[in-house]
């Protein structure tokens, strides 16, 4: 009896999985697609699925696929039937696809990190020939290294930003202190918050040095800089080089646990002042403590403003604000883009904007990727 029940349950599950697959497939998909070098899982799933972040779930509903994560250039994806997805293996001469274009995020994978503190780190005390800046094959002189060994490699890093709520980010000076006068920059992006929340310091890797000499007393360590780094200056910090500090494979998926609405926000946009578009990197105020991990897909939303009622309120130079008030109407929140996280820390994560309908700005908040389905969020994906 139990065996018959298990068989019936398995058949029912597969039927439901096939139905779910049919519901998520885009109606204008081709019968077949040959995977090409340079494709990403997001690109391919966006061609076939209404929700690209459901790639693993859709693929796992089809037991004929050995590993839904390992799709290679040359593979032939068959979508001849709405309830059947199949992959014919190709020559397997290339690396498997990842979820993101690595060329767009590699500098952040290799060179950026978020830490709780940096003041205790060893630092550069001086440079060869008393230079103000050094790069290439020049020497630097460091203090504070614990038992350095000849040939040991260290990354030279510089604190660049402080992340703390409710302010999105603060640029740091050469000492790692807030830049004077930058506080007024973020007044329009701060949101009401009952308490402050320290998120971390961003460190940017400038170069890598190899230990070549240690003085007799062990106070000063000489390191030779490698030729492909950026300029180093006195005061920069040092940390040991990690063998491989980042993932190379990213598989899109919704968050493991639902987000608290409005809690996680965009706190910086790389290489721009405050806004970014497709394939720009953003930092967000959420990480492992919120259940986020690499590959998590979220949607970015512009918070609706509180605008003076044009017929019931007297004229004012300030027609809209981020706070409620008498005579103001709350306008709807607006979807702007989807973002996939690729480097996650305890309280901060880096993500790549995938697709969107409008620029995303510092201060915008994040929701689950399905939020607002049936509105502009869905229409903007294709």
Asked if 207 and 229 count as a contact pair (C-beta separation under 8 A), the reply is: yes
- pLDDT value at position 213? 95
Helix (H, G, I), strand (E, B) or coil at 156: strand
- Output 179 or 371, whichever has higher pLDDT: 371
Tell me if 33 sits within 8 A of 90, measured CB to CB: no
Of 176, 147, 144, the residue nearest 160 (C-alpha): 176
Omega within 30 of 0 (cis) for the link into 166: yes
Tell me the CATH class for 2-88.
Answer: alpha beta
User: What pLDDT is recorded for position 11?
Assistant: 30
pLDDT band at 97 (very low <50, low <70, confident <90, very high): confident
Higher pLDDT, 169 or 298: 298
pLDDT at 60: 60
DSSP 267: E
Model confidence band, residue 360 (pLDDT cutoffs 50, 70, 90): very high
Mean pLDDT on 17-43: 69
Residues 6+ apart with CB under 8 A from 183: 167, 170
Closest by alpha carbon to 155, among 245, 90, 89? 245
pLDDT of res. 106: 85
Contacts of residue 144, defined as CB under 8 A and 6 or more positions apart, other chains included, come to 121, 122, 123, 238
Residue 330 clears pLDDT 60, i.e. is over it: yes
pTM of the model: 0.80
Across the range 310-324, mean pLDDT stands at 64
Would the pLDDT of 345 be above 70? Answer: yes
The arithmetic mean of pLDDT across residues 249-254, rounded, is 85
Instruction: Look up tokens 């506080």; give the residue.
Output: 183
> With bands split at pLDDT 50, 70 and 90, how would you rate the model's confidence at 19?
very low
Q: Where are the domains of the chain?
A: 2-88, 108-240, 266-379
Question: Which range (15-19, 75-79, 106-110, 353-357) has the least confidence?
Answer: 15-19
20-34, 43-57, 90-104, 253-267: lowest mean pLDDT where?
Answer: 20-34
Mean pLDDT in residue range 12-21: 35
256: which 2 tokens?
A: 């493991």
Q: What percent of the chain has pLDDT over 90?
A: 39
Cβ neighbours of 55 (radius 10 Å)? 25
- Residue bearing tokens 């405050």: 274
Above 80 in pLDDT, residue 281?
A: yes
Helices (H), the chain: 2-24, 41-48, 55-60, 102-111, 376-379
What is the Cβ-side half-sphere exposure of residue 215, based on CA atoms within 13 angstroms? 11
- The string of DSSP codes covering 273-301 is SSEE-TT-EEEES--GGGT--TTBEEEEE
Residue of 240, 226, 241 lying closest to 134 (CA atoms): 226
Model confidence over 176-228: pLDDT tens digits?
Answer: 777 665 554 444 455 545 557 899 999 999 999 999 999 887 789 999 999 88
pLDDT score of 143:
96
């Amino acid at each position: 009896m139990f065996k018959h029940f298990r068989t019936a349950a398995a058949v029912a599950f597969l039927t439901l999985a096939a139905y779910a697959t049919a519901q998520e497939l885009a109606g204008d998909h081709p019968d077949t697609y040959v995977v090409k070098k340079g494709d990403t899982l997001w690109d391919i799933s966006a061609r076939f699925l209404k929700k690209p972040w459901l790639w693993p779930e859709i693929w796992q509903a089809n037991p004929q696929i050995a590993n839904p994560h390992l799709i290679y250039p040359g593979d032939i994806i068959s979508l001849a039937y709405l309830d059947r997805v199949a992959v014919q293996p190709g020559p397997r001469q290339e690396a498997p696809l990842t979820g993101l274009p690595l060329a767009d995020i590699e500098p952040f994978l290799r060179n950026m990190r978020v830490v709780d503190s940096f003041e205790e780190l060893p630092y550069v005390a001086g440079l060869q020939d008393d230079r103000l800046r050094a790069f290439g094959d020049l020497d630097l002189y460091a203090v504070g290294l614990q038992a350095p060994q000849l040939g040991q490699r260290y990354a030279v890093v510089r604190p660049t930003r402080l992340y703390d709520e409710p302010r999105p980010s603060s640029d740091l000076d050469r000492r790692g202190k807030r830049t004077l006068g930058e506080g007024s920059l973020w007044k329009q992006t701060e949101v009401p918050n009952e308490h402050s929340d320290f998120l971390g310091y961003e460190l940017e890797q400038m170069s890598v040095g190899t230990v070549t000499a240690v003085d007799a007393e062990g106070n000063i360590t000489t390191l030779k800089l490698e030729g492909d780094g950026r300029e180093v200056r006195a005061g920069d910090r040092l940390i040991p080089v990690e063998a491989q500090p980042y993932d190379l494979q990213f598989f899109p998926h919704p968050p493991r646990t639902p987000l608290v609405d409005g809690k996680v926000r965009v706190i910086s946009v790389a290489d721009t002042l405050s806004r970014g578009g497709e394939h720009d990197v953003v930092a967000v105020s959420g990480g492992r403590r919120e259940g986020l991990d690499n590959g998590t897909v979220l949607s970015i939303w512009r918070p609706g403003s509180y605008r003076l009622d044009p017929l019931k309120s007297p004229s004012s130079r300030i027609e809209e604000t981020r706070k409620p008030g008498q005579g103001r109407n709350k306008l709807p929140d607006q979807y702007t883009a989807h973002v996939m996280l690729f480097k996650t820390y305890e309280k901060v994560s880096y993500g790549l904007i995938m697709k969107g309908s409008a620029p995303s700005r510092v201060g915008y908040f994040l929701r689950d990727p399905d939020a607002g389905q049936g509105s502009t969020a869905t229409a903007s994906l294709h």
